[in-house]
Amino acid sequence: MRRNVIIKTVSRFLVPFIQVYALYVIVHGALGAGGGFQGGVVFAASFILMIIAFGLTCVRERFGYRWIVMLSALGITIYATIGLLCLIPGGNYLEYGSIEAALGIPHLHGYLIDAVEIGIGMTVMAIMTSIIYDMGDTGGESP
């Protein structure tokens, strides 16, 4: 299939906006409707758009298997580490308030929730993208 110039141009415009929107959804998780799952999926959707426009190989060259493994591992590590950090001041697992009380920084628990959401978002984005790669891998991807 010849790649259509309109699809290419439009997606070139759209992808940054989708990604910024995804980041907004992720960071908004602490205060309102939003969060890592939804934002991560939206972020992965931008990769799907790129795959449609530029082809699987082109996207995979820039965002390869190594990135996926690293990001998914890093995301969960952020989540689990923050959870475990809450144990140090004497709180329970994921009890953000304990860190906030120990360090005395106001609204710290909000930032910690954001950090956890970013971790979740990273993992979801990486895993969704890897699913797309795996699905597209064996199908009849035309050159």
Question: Of 97-136, which residues contact other proteins (CB under 8 A)?
Answer: 97-98, 131, 134-135
C-beta of 6: minimal distance to other proteins in Å? 29
Looking at the Cβ atoms of 47 and 96, the one nearer to other proteins is: 96
Q: How far is C-alpha 76 from the chain's CA centre?
A: 11
Q: Are 35 and 120 in contact (CB under 8 A)?
A: yes
Kindly state the tokens that stand for 48.
């799907």
SS3 assignment, position 52? helix
The dihedral built from the CA positions of residue 94, 98, 100 and 103, taken in this order, carries a sign that is negative
Looking at the Cβ atoms of 138 and 142, the one nearer to other proteins is: 138
Question: Of 39-58, which residues contact other proteins (CB under 8 A)?
Answer: none
> What residue type is 134 in one-letter code?
D
C-beta of 122: minimal distance to other proteins in Å? 12
34 lines the binding site for other proteins (CB under 8 A): no
The site for other proteins (CB under 8 A) is made up of 32-33, 37-38, 69-70, 72-73, 76-77, 80, 83-84, 87, 90-98, 131, 134-135, 138-139
